[in-house]
Amino acid sequence: MKRLNSQMQQDGAPLELILLIRTLLAGCKEISFRVSQGALAGVLGSTLSENVQGETQKKLDVISNQILKDILKESGYVKAISSEEEDDVVPCHPDGKYLVSFDPLDGSSNTEINSLIGTIFSIAHAPQWMEPDDPAAFLQPGSQMVAAGYVLYGPSTMLAMTTGKGTHIYTLDKTHGGFLLTHPNIQVPEQTAEFSINASNQRHWEQPIQNYVADLLAGTEGPREKNYNMRWVAAMVGDIHRLLCRGGIFMYPYDKRDPGKPGKLRLLYEANPMAFLMEQAGGLASTGEGRIMEVMPEEIHQRVPVIIGSKDEVEACLSYYD
């Protein structure tokens, strides 16, 4: 099987980007080990603090964030970091060529039940005229990313990644510690009969999503004329991994509870990298009003609505907004 380095070289990734990704994945391997130890290592449970999002931090959130922050700061390839767990950007090396944004442990509430969790990341070029502590460097549309991916800590540890030449999925071979290519150039089926949404928020959705989901639930007797299954992992990495492997549509739409937070998912750490992966695999990713990767960020912790997945189904959903 082809190794990660070989595939990145074949896709034309520059050497410094390859070395940066290898460094980042070394941190993810350490997180994978900590996750696998669970209660044996005393890493489960919550801390007494909240992150900038107002969410109670799990011990593994803090540990994972520190692992990635330390290894990236030492690499020399990174000018600055933005993390879901950090209030502000973290300056690294003044001559670093890249910016890295990440959610160190997506779905961390699942740690208590030994369910799917993961690390999501994106990489962009660093404007060389900006200081490392300037958050404005990160205010780039997703179309400027040079790489994005996630590492899924499941029964096996898997990496889904793109450098703009297709989406590939790798599996960590723990016998020698390397990621091996197991699903090259994955393509998301254009049609699907599965959807993912947190139905407990139904009363807060906009009317287009209300109408769309109602039609899905109507099954063969409804306007869509087929039965749909609903799947919900409560970790974006798990839901998106399922979509990449067998198709589907994932939605975390705008809801009316807090106009200042137009969605739950963060643009830099979750929506943009997943959109890049999905588009490179033949799927679509929208806010309901436009392409996710064309949204111009206004601040590093900005949230957006997300509608992502199989091409035909995303288009069908968006038609309700028309």
Binding site for substrate: residue ranges? 106-109, 198, 264
For residues 308 and 244, what is the distance between their CA atoms, to the nearest angstrom? Answer: 11
- Binding-site annotation, residues for Mg(2+): 84, 103, 105-106, 270
| DSSP assignments along 81-146, one per residue | EEETT-SS-EE--TT--EEEEEEEEETGGGGGGT--EEEEEEEEEPPTTS-TT-GGGG---GGGEE
For residues 103 and 115, what is the distance between their CA atoms, to the nearest angstrom? Answer: 17
Question: In this structure, is the dihedral angle defined by the CA atoms of residues 221, 225, 226 and 228, taken in order, positive or negative?
Answer: negative
Residue among 258, 240, 229 nearest 107 (CA): 240
Query: Which residues, at least 6 apart from 95, have a Cβ–Cβ distance to it below 8 Å?
Result: 76, 79
125 has which bridge partners?
98
Maximum C-alpha span of the chain = 61
For residues 87 and 101, what is the distance between their CA atoms, to the nearest angstrom? Answer: 13
Cβ atoms within 10 A of the Cβ of 229, count? 11
Rg of the chain over Cα atoms, rounded to whole angstroms, equals 19
Query: Which residues, at least 6 apart from 10, have a Cβ–Cβ distance to it below 8 Å?
Result: none
Pairing of strands 167-173, 157-162: antiparallel
* Token pair in block for residue 317: 């959903």
- Binding-site annotation, residues: 84, 103, 105-109, 198, 264, 270
* Token pair in block for residue 293: 């990767």
